[in-house]
């Protein structure tokens, strides 16, 4: 049995936390922009930190596993 939780969670978080795809923190003109498909260095840094924190939450703190 292989544990598929880590690659699936990492891929989903990477897709949803891409700056400008769903939301952008901080936005260009507002604190939060939705679906603007533009990015900045500050937004890339904030989204990278959020990605790391969510990944640690799911994989280390909650011990999520998916065996197939």
Q: Going residue by residue through the chain, which has 68 residues, state the pLDDT in tens, using 9 for 90 and above.
A: 899 999 999 999 999 999 888 888 887 778 888 888 888 898 899 999 999 999 999 999 999 999 98
State the Cα torsion 16-65-49-45 to the nearest 10°.
Answer: -40
Residue 59, C-beta contacts closer than 8 angstroms, at least 6 positions apart: 5, 6, 9
The pTM is what?
0.85
């Amino acid at each position: 049995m292989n544990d598929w939780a880590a690659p699936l969670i990492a891929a989903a978080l990477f897709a949803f936390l891409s700056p400008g795809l769903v939301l952008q923190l901080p936005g260009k003109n507002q604190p939060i922009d939705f679906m603007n498909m533009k990015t900045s260095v500050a937004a890339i840094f904030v989204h990278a930190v959020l990605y790391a924190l969510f990944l640690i939450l799911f994989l280390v703190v909650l011990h999520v596993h998916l065996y197939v």
